Structure 1
Amino acid sequence: MLQETIGIMFDSRMYRGIPAGRTGQESLANYERAAACYGLTPCFLRLEDIDSDMKTCIAYVKKDGVYVRQKMALPSVIHNRALQLRRAEQHKVTQLLLQGIQVYNVRNRYRKDHIHEMLHQDFSLRQYLPHAVKATPEDLVYMMEHYDDLIIKPCSGSIGHGIMRIFKKDGQWKLTCETKASRRGWATFRLSKGQLPSATLRRIFRHAYLIEERIPLVRYEGRPVDLRVSVQRGRDGLWGITGMFAKAAPAHTFVTNIAQGGKVMTLAEALGTVESDIHLLELATRIRSVALRIAQTLASSLPHLADLGLDLGITGNGEIYFIECNGRDQRYGFRKAGMNEHWKVSYQRPMAYGRLLLEQNSLIPRQPQTYHRGPY
């Protein structure tokens, strides 16, 4: 197999940590091992170090056990692990695509309301979507009239920040949200006359928020649990399930994000006390089916998609619900759950897909690609 270079694109902060091996939750060793399986040598680069006119870049490559920063030819295939949120960055990535550089996972952050709308267009997925509406004064009133438990979340938020819960208990509406006043970072307040504080209302209606019915998730030691399902393209270019693990919210909040202190475990550990082995197998099969359908539906509208982390919820009677989609899956949850082989495979499959793109590039003469900008 011909040894070729594949680019791994990082944010500046992560990129600067490469010489010291301080790249947060990204495992350089896993990239290297995975790439080697497919005759690839990874180089680690940033968008700002790419000269698209000269087709060159400055990147880190490992030589004799040390990461060396050098000028080199721009790889024809790049796996994007950076967030390009500025318009100028998006324009530069678009230019790379137009020049025939294959950047996969080109967009890795999408607005939650846009994702919900895309999935709602697929009739077969509607049963897995909680009722959700864009936050307006009228829709907030409607949702509070029809549901006693709601989640309000920013359309562009991440790792659980900015999410609120409003719920009715014993005839009294309450709000749970992040606050600096609480030692734990979260607190619950009574709502006067069942109305959100004016400052909260201004924030919700000034920015893009989604109001969603709260799904009655299964619980682990009294704490709500959801699942992270890794769905990736592999050597054949088709979507496959790399693995899944469960996340239980900390005792003081309803948010299961690992970055917020969520406990990570296998599906069997989370549900094993209440589910039989046969039921777990059947449930896992249904979860895989739903996750694959979601990935396929999103890929039909979003270009260059290859690597997703889907958050799915399960109710006590086995119903499955979509919670949100992560375009830059933080794979370390597998390691935290003791699923080391799944953790390694979560790096391996994207490298396998990169090998496929390189082979396709060598067979097909480079032509400008039509690029449809994905929603944010």
Structure 2
Amino acid sequence: MKRTKVKIVVPSAGKSSSLDGRTIMLSDALLKRWKISTQTPLTLRFGSAKHEVTVASTSQTGVLRINDSIAAEWGLSHGDSLCLQYKASTRTLHIGPLIGVMISRVYPGNVDRPFGAITAFCRELTDACKLYGASVYFVTPDDLNGQSDTVRGWHYAGKWEKQPFPVPHVIYNRLTSRKLENRANVQQFIRHAKTQYQSVLFNEKYLNKTEVFDALNKENGLHTYLPESHLLQNFQMLKTMCAKYPVVFLKPITGSLGKGIIRITRQADQTYVCHFTNLSSTRKQSFAKLSQLFAAISRKIKQRRYQIQQGLSLIAVGGRPVDFRALVQRNEAGQWGITSIVARIAGNHHFVSNLARGGSLSSVKEALARSSSTAASGGAIKLRRAALAIAKGVEAQIPAHFAELGIDLALDTQGRVWLLEVNSKPSKDDNTPLSTDRKIRPSVRRIVQYSRFAAKF
């Protein structure tokens, strides 16, 4: 397969007569290098779309001139920079890759922030695509039709516009709820794209805490990172865990942002203290007996499934516990690598470190130094090793395709690394390197680089 990068040239309406809908133009040098005949028709493909075309030569180098009707039909803009590859065996020219990003919602009345809090990320991803010769559009579940070969999506070309696109080479799932992800039309579209056009879907589903821990327990070498953890099913399980550990945590298996977490601490006099997280603070309640505690929380655990997990004694900064978020992504060769790791220091009077609850970010180096703990020695290397091993374990044990994972880790006061959680939809706000410039972040570059690899561009 032969490949290069070209600029898309779309003649203006007044000049379009020089190109009919079945003729494209490539440079003489490219035609000679790839041994493409101008006499024989070939196929031009972009995602799911294709046209039978003939090729004419042009003296302009590094351009692909196409008719304005094809450009409009495919969502291409004049000046787009895309990869071009030629498969001589099928006489097919492929342009792309085309990336479709599934997002939860659009606010069309908000011109500056049509995608709410992720608008800046969408612009950044668009800029990264220009840099690497790719095209991207953004689509909501409301715009997906299971059997259609076109998708109406949002694309940035000086301003946000909605227009038709082919089914993409690569689908990046950024849907933020399981309800949206599981909608019938969304699942139908995914099946259609994968089976009919071999589209690659990544981060295809949410992970829950029980699923992750059960899967990683099967992977040799990962047990050392896993605190004891079970799906909470009855009082006996609570009693057993509370007898074994002085502190246990109850975590909603589908929770995020620390919502709904309960910390249970066994006191010296065998009473129990519960700390409940709510939206902005922590509520404390004491119980003389464990049975009373269970009665108080039984309604919660009937309404929602909880994971019960061994409590850990974490390193701290100023008395506030610290954990670490590693962003692990596949690179341009499809291999897992560490893009970034940041430390998250819990806010005052909180035992969870989420930024939404008053937590703060720090570099790993600074947090380890500020902890003044001998357990911090060599911590950075141990965290990187653990994050990479866990990502590979998820890949090996969970039957779904992921290309980026947010992996939450902790370092205890003995210097041991523990896994807290794996997030298949890592936030684009709180997992990024501490930076004030407006350059394209490595995490965003990596998404496009991997998409090129996945689409074989």
Does structure 2 retain, via aligned residues, the 8 Å contact 1:44–1:61?
A: yes
Instruction: Using the TM superposition, name which of 44-53 and 351-360 deviates more.
Output: 44-53
Quote the offset at 1:152 in angstroms. 0.2
Aligned to 1:78: 171
Cross-structure match for 1:177: 276
**Residue in structure 2 matched with residue 371 of structure 1 by the alignment:** none
Which deviates more, 50-59 or 131-140? 50-59
Q: Deviations over 1:174-205 (max 9, x none)?
A: 0000358xxx4321111132331524123214
Higher mean C-alpha displacement, 299-308 vs 237-246:
299-308
Please name the residue that 1:69 is paired with: 162
Hey, what's the Cα distance between the residues in 2 that align with 1:143 and 1:313?
A: 20
Q: Which amino acid aligns with 1:252?
A: H
Aligned residue in 1 for 2:200: 102
Partner of residue 227 from structure 1, selected from 316, 324, 347: 324
Aligned to 2:367: 270
Q: Report the Cα offset of residue 349 of structure 1.
A: 0.5
| TM-fit CA distance, 1:72 | 2.1
State the one-letter code of the partner of 2:445.
Q
- Contact 1:228 / 1:312 at 8 angstroms: preserved in 2? yes
In the alignment, residue 253 of structure 2 is paired with which amino acid?
C
- Contact conserved, 1:50 with 1:56, CA < 8 A, in 2? no
> What are the equivalent positions in structure 2 for 1:186-197 lying under 5 Å apart?
186-194=282-290, 195-196=292-293
CA contact (8 A) 1:135 1:211 kept: yes
> Does the 8 Å contact 1:241/1:292 carry over to 2?
yes
Establish whether residue 40 from structure 1 lines up as the match of residue 134 from structure 2: yes
CA distance in 2, matches of 1:320, 1:187: 29
Moved more, 40-49 or 328-337: 328-337
Q: Higher mean Cα deviation, 190-199 or 146-155?
A: 190-199
TM-score (norm 1): 0.86
Equivalence for 2:393: 297
Matched residue, 1:374: none
Aligned to 1:167: 265
Which whole-Å deviations, capped at 9, do the CAs of 1:289-339 have from their partners, x for residues lacking one? 111111111112232211100000001221100000010111322557347
SS of match in other structure, 1:68: strand
Cα distance in 2 for partners of 1:267, 1:342 equals: 22
CA distance in 2: counterparts of 1:231 and 1:90, whole angstroms: 26
Asked if the contact 1:331–1:343 (Cα under 8 Å) also holds between the matched residues in 2, the reply is no
**Which stretches of structure 1, 4 residues or longer, exceed 6 Å deviation after superposition?**
none
- Kindly indicate whether the alpha-carbon contact (under 8 Å) linking 1:45 and 1:58 is maintained by their aligned counterparts in 2: yes
Contact kept? 1:84, 1:90, Cα under 8 Å: no
Cα distance in 1 for residues equivalent to 2:416 and 2:169: 43
User: The residue matched to 1:316 in structure 2 has which SS?
Assistant: coil
Residue number among 408, 419, 427 corresponding to 1:311 in the alignment:
408
Could you say what secondary structure the match of 1:333 adopts? Answer: coil
Match of residue 132 from structure 1: 229
Note if contact 2:258-2:354 (Cα within 8 Å) is conserved in structure 1: yes
Q: In the alignment, does 2:90 pair up with 1:11?
A: no
Structure 1 position 157 matched with structure 2 position 251: no
Distance change in 2, residues 1:128/1:179 (3 Å): closer
- What is the alpha-carbon distance in structure 2 between the residues aligned to residue 18 and residue 305 of structure 1? 32
Q: Deviation per CA, 1:62-87, whole angstroms, max 9, x where unpaired? A: 12x11111122222212111136234
1:257 Cα deviation (Å)? 1.4
The answer (yes or no) to whether the contact 1:243–1:342 under 8 Å persists in 2 is no
Which AA in structure 1 matches 2:263? R
Matched-pair contact (CA < 8 Å) for 1:242–1:342: no
Given the alignment of the two structures, is residue 20 of structure 1 paired with residue 112 of structure 2, yes or no? yes
**CA-to-aligned-CA distance 1:8-49 (integer Å, 9 cap, x gap):** 221115x65874225314512321222222201221112331
Q: Give the fraction of aligned pairs with identical amino acids, expressed as a percent.
A: 27
Q: Is 1:25–1:330's contact at 8 Å kept on the other side of the alignment?
A: no
Secondary structure of 1:200's match? helix
Q: Name the structure 2 match of 1:51.
A: 145
Aligned partner of 2:354 in structure 1 is 257
Greater shift in the superposed pair: 90-99 or 65-74? 90-99
Cα deviation for residue 276 of structure 1 reads 9.6
Match of 1:367 in 2: none
Runs of 5+ in structure 2 lacking a partner?
7-81, 83-95
Find the aligned partners of 1:327 and 1:93 in 2 and give their Cα distance.
17
Q: Cα–Cα, structure 1 residues 318 and 17, in superposed 2: closer, same or farther, change >3 Å?
A: farther
**8 Å contact kept, 2:287–2:293:** yes
**Cα distance in 2, alignment partners of residues 142 and 91 from structure 1:** 44
1:139 aligned partner, one-letter code = M
Q: How far apart in 2 are the matches of 1:8 and 1:354?
A: 11
Query: Is the Cα contact below 8 Å between 2:126 and 2:156 reproduced in 1?
Result: no
**Quick check: 1:309–1:327 contact (8 Å CA) kept in 2?**
yes
From 268, 275, 284, the counterpart of 2:380: 284
Q: How many pairs are equivalent? A: 353
SS in 1 for 2:284: strand
Residue identity opposite 1:42 in structure 2: V
- Cα distance, 1:246 vs structure 2: 0.6
Kindly tell me: are residues 18 and 179 of structure 1, through their superposed partners in 2, closer, same or farther at Cα, counting changes over 3 Å? closer
Between the aligned partners of 1:242 and 1:298, the Cα distance in structure 2 is 17
**How much has 1:235 moved relative to structure 2?**
0.5
Question: Could you say if the C-alpha distance between residues 262 and 340 of structure 1 is closer, same or farther in structure 2, counting changes exceeding 3 Å?
Answer: farther
- Check 1:17–1:305 CA distance in 2 against 1; reply closer, same or farther (3 A cut): farther
Residue of structure 2 in register with 1:117 after alignment? 214
Look up the equivalent residue of 1:106 and give its one-letter code: E
Residue 323 of structure 1 is aligned with which of 395, 402, 420?
Answer: 420
List alignment gaps of at least 5 residues for structure 1.
361-376
- Amino acid of the residue matched to residue 337 of structure 2? G
Give the superposition deviation at 1:259: 2.1
